[in-house]
Amino acid sequence: MPLSNLLQSIKQGKPFKKADLIIYSVIALIVCLIFVFFALFNNTRKPTGFSVSLNDQVIITCNYNSSPVVKTGFEKQVEIEGNKITVYTSIKKTHYNVIEIDHENMSVDITMANCSLSHDCTFLPPIKNGQGALICVPNNLIIKSITGTFTPPVTG
Amino acid sequence: MIEQLLPPLFLPGAKIGFANVFILLALVLIGNKSAFIVLLLKCVLGSVFSGNVSAIMYSLPSSILALITEIALFRGVKSFSVISISVVGAVITSAVQNVIFCLITGTIANLTYLPYLVLIAILAGVIVGFTLYTIIKIIPNRVLDKIT
């Protein structure tokens, strides 16, 4: 059976064609537009702290001027040691993320995790300003910056 | 799976996506249905064996959309090279994954990674496309005749 027209065209053709310029131009335009959009709508407000959500529930908030506050009922899943917070996804303590706080530079980072093979969350850059978030998808953990008014979780 | 053992490509979650070579190979050599089957297997098995089953939520819709676009470009508009079509697929996969990720996690701020992911996707698309082009060029016609 002879090769299909598609295979023939790839076999006999060159790796790049003139019409490819159309595709690359469109992509370049889209990238420029996205950069312009984010440059115009950049949030540069200073953060006052951050919140940690587990399974869509805020369990920790931390003002950079004080210690972290843990929501009632989650004390067994959270261990605080100096500037490090270890958050376990459940009381069984099988899966965890280690969060490191830099009070001086007002930034927070995920430094360790045992979530999956790739541990993508540990490669995310620390959040230093009012935007961005640190997310661990397998453990359903999200760390967000707080700017402006600070509302600690319910304790006691 | 092997790619996940390697460090990320400039940004967390960014990979070359060599598995897409096999999807495009199935598309070019056999047909649309085979390409979809390979895509489903890649998404499901990759998520299961990497220990991150929730990744299917992001990888499956983005990969399906990318493959549909690639099929349209291969079959419909025949003026583009296999490398540029691979780039389009890679850009769509990255962009859609990022958008779905931001919507599901409720962190719209992570859309700021989008332009960088698109740039990395262009690089990944060129590498995957060139690999596919080289494979098809190298395999003799008599072998391709038996496969197709």
**Looking at the partner chain, which of A14, A43, A117 has a beta carbon nearest the beta carbon of B5?**
A117
Task: Give yes or no for residue B90 having a pLDDT over 90.
Answer: yes
Q: What is the pLDDT of residue B3?
A: 61
Q: What is the pLDDT of residue B51?
A: 67
Task: Give yes or no for residue B22 having a pLDDT over 50.
Answer: yes
Q: What is the pLDDT of residue A110?
A: 92
In this structure, are residues A19 and B87 in contact, taking their beta carbons and an 8 Å threshold? no
**CA nearest to B85, candidates A8, A30, A31, A10:** A10
Q: What is the pLDDT of residue B6?
A: 59
Element (H, E) at A134: strand A133-136
Task: Give yes or no for residue A46 having a pLDDT over 80.
Answer: no
Choice between B81 and B76, residue whose per-residue pLDDT is larger: B81
Specify the length of chain B in residues: 148
What distance in Å separates residue B12's CA from the closest CA in chain A? 5
Q: Do A142 and B105 touch (CB under 8 A)?
A: yes
Q: What ipTM score was computed for the predicted complex, to two decimals?
A: 0.78
Name the least confident of B18-22, B25-29, B74-78.
Answer: B74-78
Q: What is the pLDDT of residue A1?
A: 42
Nearest-angstrom CA–CA distance, A58 and A65: 19
Residue ranges per structural domain of chain B: 2-6+13-147
Choice between A7 and A2, residue whose per-residue pLDDT is larger: A7
Nearest-angstrom CA–CA distance, B11 and B3: 14
Q: What is the pLDDT of residue B61?
A: 92
β partners of residue A57: A54
Residues in A whose CB is inside 8 Å of some CB of B read 1-4, 6-7, 9-11, 13-17, 19-20, 22-24, 27, 30-31, 34-35, 38, 43, 115-118, 120-121, 123-124, 131-133, 135, 137-138, 142, 144
Which residues of chain B have a CB within 8 Å of the CB of A31? Answer: 115, 118-119
Which residues of chain A have a CB within 8 Å of the CB of B111? Answer: 38
Query: Where does the pLDDT of residue B11 fall: very low under 50, low under 70, confident under 90, or very high at 90 and above?
Result: low
Q: For A148, left (φ over 0), alpha (ψ -120 to 50), or beta?
A: left
Task: Give yes or no for residue B72 having a pLDDT over 50.
Answer: yes
Which residues of chain A have a CB within 8 Å of the CB of B145? Answer: 1-3
Q: Counting one residue from A and one from B, how many pairs have CB atoms under 8 Å apart?
A: 125
Q: Do B109 and A43 touch (CB under 8 A)?
A: yes
What distance in Å separates residue A57's CA from the closest CA in chain B? 12
Percent of chain B with pLDDT over 70: 86
Which fold is adopted by the domain A49-146?
A: mini-chromosome maintenance (MCM) complex, domain 2 (2.60.320)
Give the model confidence (pLDDT) of B39-58 as tens digits. Answer: 999 888 887 777 667 778 88
Query: Where does the pLDDT of residue B8 fall: very low under 50, low under 70, confident under 90, or very high at 90 and above?
Result: low
Mean pLDDT across chain A: 83
Q: Do B81 and A14 touch (CB under 8 A)?
A: yes
Q: What angle do CA B28, B31, B34 make, to 5 degrees?
A: 110
